[in-house]
Amino acid sequence: MVTSPISTSNKHLLPEAHEQAQSQLRSEAILRTVIESEPECIKLLDRNGTLLQMNPAGLAMIEADSFATVQGQCIYPLIDPEHRLAFEQLTAKVFEGDSGSLIFKITGFKGTGRWLETRAVPLRDGPEILALLSITRDITEHKQAQQALAESEERFRATFEQAAVGLAHIGLEGQWLMVNQKLCDIIGYTREELLTLTFQQITHPEDLAADLVNVQRLLSGEVSTFAMEKRYFHKHGTAIWINLTGSLVRGEFGEPKYFIAVIEDITKRKYAEQALRESEAFNRQILDSSGDCIKVLDAEGRLVYLNQSGQCLLEIDNQLDVIGKRWTDFWYSEEHRLACEAVTVALAGGQGRFTGFCPTAKGTPRWWDVQINPMEGEDASRRLVSISRDITESKLAEENLRQVTDALELRVVERTADLLDANQQLQLELVERLRAEDALERLGRQNELILNAAGEGIVGLDLQGRVTFINPTGARVLGYTVDELLGRPLHKVTHRSQTVQVIYDLTSYCIYASLQDGKVRSLVDDVFIRKDDVRFPVEYVSTPILEKDQTVGAVITFRDVTERQVVQRLKDEFISVVSHELRTPLTSIRGALGILAGGVLGPLPEKGQRMLDIAVNNTDRLVRLINDILDIERMESGKATLHKQTCDTMSLVHQSLDVMRPLAEQAGVSLSVDCPSCKLLADPDRVIQTLTNLLSNAIKFSPRGGAVSVRVECHDAHLLVQVDDEGRGIPADKLESIFERFGQVDATDSRNRGGTGLGLAICRSIVQQHGGRIWAESTGHGSTFSFTLPILEYTHSLVCFA
């Protein structure tokens, strides 16, 4: 609707101006149309703010249904009180002839708030100002957007500042553009200081490369964000571990603008992690460096962990083969029961412990001392720790010792019997030689003392298994007197109450088996019952007593193995007794017999001389036997060390031949040698001992007129020495066993040929200590003993040590 003042002015137009008026009317119509359809508010106000005219867009803004309802009203009440004065001032200004603009807020008739921007100009008619003409735009949306932006920026700033993590904007060159207080706190710089630095300057050099790679990946668009753990240097110089999350902000056209970094201080966590790792590594190291087999079992007894030593000891290639398996299933028979018991005890909070035999995964026999404890810690009842110690060596050592002791005792008894025989003959013929006889008796007493003082039970059995002899120790261990046991069957005495649980098959009982087939047997895990019904674990060896190849009984040596340590002490004492106490009377015996036999006190009858020679020879053999036993004990216990030096083969062989020549001449055996000169690094005394032992055997077993030859071949890395004889040869099944202690082909050899039964065992020890090998071959007519020694040439060792 067009304003009336305009039309009013038109009423006064003159006719000559009609055309002009017509034209004006047309332009007025155009103007009206424009105003009506204008999307912005166009209004006229008088100087008091009364609405004179308003187009539909304006009416919509103020929420008026029609112009009629608002015509002549003052619009000031619609204006927000805050802006009302400014609007009134603008109005006044316009009526003074100026123009102006204002942003203000109104509330429409229907209550809607709007932000408006208005431009007001005076509407003049000549000098008179008729009205205020304003064009007003609704800027509510713009205002809201602006406000939202401001709010968002405020929120961002607050978030940025109050964040619990370090936040930063970083320029493309790495300079810090904006940082929050938390970040400053983390790295110790003030905001101002930090803004002069780049992230490269405070990054740990070891972490920089990785960081730069990540930055490149962001820039290239390969990733939109990355996270990494890295170190910054604190202002004080210490390294701080942080977790960095980086992303890149790009501009409207995709161009990189700056990086956003989220920085979290993880130093404490890192240290905690490291400490945990170290502690774990430390524990693992302790577990792995332990020589024992350490296992962790779950409540069902299944293996959940096995340390490295355990894997080695058990010869397990792959841990996974055993993890998850029931530990008790690794044990058999009696040990299985003991293992189950131990697990039960440990699950109840106690310590389970037992000693038992369990072969490795590859079948190597091993004995173990096993302890099982509940694991300490939160889950105490859920886990068990089992620590098994490999006690195979000490078991074997005990076994060896027992065999040596048994054999020695048997031989001492035999030798003593020889000496006593000779002694009786002497008594008949040489009554005046009382001193010598005295000495022999002393030796007999000494041996009896040793037998009685032995820490093991020694029982003699007849073919029916009845006790024919028992030493006091044996009787004491069983809780009887010697007399109570004589004549009673050992099996019934020692196993009497077991018949309820286990029906022993007499034929499978090892002592009786020994009696039947004449073989030495040992059992390490039997249980005997004392007179007072107390059961105790024993080990025993059953050695048949042979007379002319017929078994006439057996000697059983048994021991209460709960006193294992006593054995070690006894062993040392025994060695010391042998080396001194036994030699001292032997010195007297040998000296006295030597003087008599040498005829220094005058000639003797022929038979008397013969008897004395026997006594001298047997004394010498006893001395050799003691020496050999000491020798092999020292070598096998590692007490004897090799004194290696550069030697020449020719010299070694000729020295050995020189020692053996008298024996060979006496036996009518010829010696020949084929030996090149060759240097080697070895203990000359020990090599000569080996060679003389082999030569002595070869000579002893050669018939008169036979030949013994020594052949030496020098190869690249080793030396081969062979001793050939023309003796009776060695059965194929004895070629190995002759190197065992007392492993002679024929048990009577030691008596008939003057050997000790230990020579070849000593040779084997010496050769093995040198890193060589020894073996025997036989064709039935004659034997060849060969051994190798590594040639560790002197020049080689010089190069090595240079």
Partner 1 sequence: MPSKRVLVVDDEADIREVIQMCLELVEGWDVLLAASGNEGLMSAQSEQPDAVLLDVMMPEMDGVATFKQLQANRETRQIPVLLLTAKVQPTDRQRFAELGVAGVITKPFDPLTLTAQIKALLQW
User: Is the Cβ–Cβ distance between 125 and 44 less than 8 Å?
Assistant: no
Could you list the beta-strand ranges (E) of 48-182.
51-54, 100-107, 113-125, 128-138, 166-170, 176-179
State the number of binding residues for partner 1 (CB under 8 A).
24
Which CB, 4 or 587, lies closer to partner 1?
Answer: 587
Choose one: 547-555, 556-564, 582-590, 742-750; the region binding partner 1 (CB under 8 A): 582-590
Is 573 a binder of partner 1 (CB under 8 A)?
Answer: no
CB 42 within 8 A of CB 58: yes
- What's at 587, amino acid-wise? T
- In the complex with partner 1, the residue whose CB is nearer, 423 or 744, is 423
E strand or H helix that includes residue 776: strand 774-780
Neighbours of 795 (CB within 10 A): 9
Which one, 204 or 583, has the nearer CB to partner 1?
583
**Binding-site member from 183, 439, 657, 688 for partner 1 (CB under 8 A):** 439
Position 594 contacts partner 1 (CB under 8 A): yes
- CB nearer to partner 1: pick between 542 and 619: 619
Which one among 276, 601, 732, 747 touches partner 1, defined by CB under 8 A? 601
Q: Which stretch binds partner 1 (CB under 8 A): 122-130, 506-514, 619-627, 647-655?
A: 619-627
Does residue 637 touch partner 1 according to CB under 8 A?
no
**Comparison of 518 and 594: residue with beta carbon closer to partner 1:** 594
Sign of the dihedral through C-alpha 515, 516, 517, 521: negative
Find the part of the chain contacting partner 1 (CB under 8 A) among 178-186, 223-231, 587-595, 650-658.
587-595
For the chain, give me the number of helices (H) and strands (E)?
Answer: 27, 27
The vertex-776 CA angle with 774 and 782, nearest 5°, equals 145
Q: Judged by CB under 8 A, which of 443, 586, 691, 760 binds partner 1?
A: 586
Exactly one of 53, 203, 619, 783 binds partner 1 (CB under 8 A); that residue is: 619
Contact with partner 1 (CB under 8 A) among 44, 239, 420, 623: 623
375 DSSP 8-state letter:
P
Q: How many CA atoms lie within 13 A of 643 on its CB side?
A: 3
Q: Say what the alpha-carbon torsion angle 405, 407, 408, 410 is, to the nearest 10 degrees.
A: 120
Long-range CB contact pairs, 572-580, < 8 A, 24+: 574/405, 575/630, 575/633, 577/450, 578/626, 578/629, 578/630, 579/626, 579/630
Which residue, 200 or 579, is less far from partner 1 as judged by CB?
579
Cα–Cα distance for residue pair 616/610, rounded to 1 Å: 10
The amino acid at residue 649 is: T
Q: Does 591 bind partner 1 (CB under 8 A)?
A: yes
In terms of CB distance, is 140 or 769 closer to partner 1? 769
Query: Site residues for partner 1, window 640-659 (CB under 8 A)?
Result: 643
In this structure, are residues 301 and 322 in contact, taking their beta carbons and an 8 Å threshold? Answer: no
Q: Which is nearer to partner 1, 147 or 584 (CB)?
A: 584
What three-state secondary structure class fits 752? Answer: helix
Contact (Cβ atoms closer than 8 angstroms) between residue 546 and residue 552 = yes
- Least Å distance, CB 432 to partner 1, is 14
Question: Is residue 598 within the footprint of partner 1 (CB under 8 A)?
Answer: yes
The overall longest dimension of the chain from CA atoms, in Å, is 198
Choose between 594 and 743: whose C-beta lies nearer to partner 1.
594
Q: Could you tell me which stretch among 179-187, 198-206, 564-572, 596-604 binds partner 1 (CB under 8 A)? A: 596-604
* Of residues 243 and 627, the one with the C-beta less far from partner 1: 627
End-to-end CA, the chain: 120
Residue 434 within binding range of partner 1, rule CB under 8 A:
no
Q: Which residue has the tokens 């073996």?
A: 775
**Is there binding between residue 447 and partner 1 (CB under 8 A)?**
no
Give 586 or 767: the residue with its C-beta nearer to partner 1: 586
Give Cα 16 to chain centroid, integer Å: 121
- Pick the stretch among 67-75, 243-251, 447-455, 584-592 that binds partner 1 (CB under 8 A): 584-592
Residue 153: exposure state from Cβ atoms within 10 A (0-12, 13-18, ≥19)? exposed
Binding part of the chain for partner 1, among 203-211, 580-588, 660-668, 674-682 by CB under 8 A, reads 580-588
Q: Which of 68, 164, 502, 600 binds partner 1 (CB under 8 A)?
A: 600
Closer to partner 1 by Cβ: residue 314 or 589: 589
- Sorted by sequence, the CB contacts under 8 Å of residue 528 that are 6+ apart come out as 477, 478, 494, 495, 535, 536, 538, 558
**Given 32, 169, 235, 583, the residue binding partner 1 (CB under 8 A):** 583
Q: Which of 37, 587, 670, 672 binds partner 1 (CB under 8 A)?
A: 587
Mark residues 678-717: x for contact with partner 1 by CB under 8 A, - for none. -------x--------------------------------
- Min dist CB 686 to partner 1, Å, is 10
Q: Could you write out the DSSP letters of every residue in 28-48?
A: HHHHHHHHHH-SSEEEEE-TT
Stretch of 226-234, 325-333, 519-527, 575-583 contacting partner 1, by CB under 8 A: 575-583
Dist CA 374 CA 386 (whole Å): 9
Q: Shortest gap between Cβ of 449 and partner 1 (angstroms)? A: 17
Residue 590 binds partner 1 (CB under 8 A): yes
> What's the min distance (Å) between Cβ of 444 and partner 1?
16
Q: Which residue, 627 or 784, is less far from partner 1 as judged by CB?
A: 627
**Backbone φ and ψ of 642, nearest 5°:** -80, 140
SS3 content of the chain, % helix, strand, coil (to 5): 50, 25, 25
Residue type, 473: T
Q: Which is nearer to partner 1, 314 or 422 (CB)?
A: 422
CA distance 76 to 92: 13
Angstrom distance (rounded) from CA 421 to CA 443 = 13
Contact flag: residue 71 with partner 1 (CB under 8 A): no
Instruction: Return residues touching partner 1 (CB under 8 A).
Output: 439, 579-580, 583-592, 594-595, 598, 600-601, 619, 623, 627, 634, 643, 685
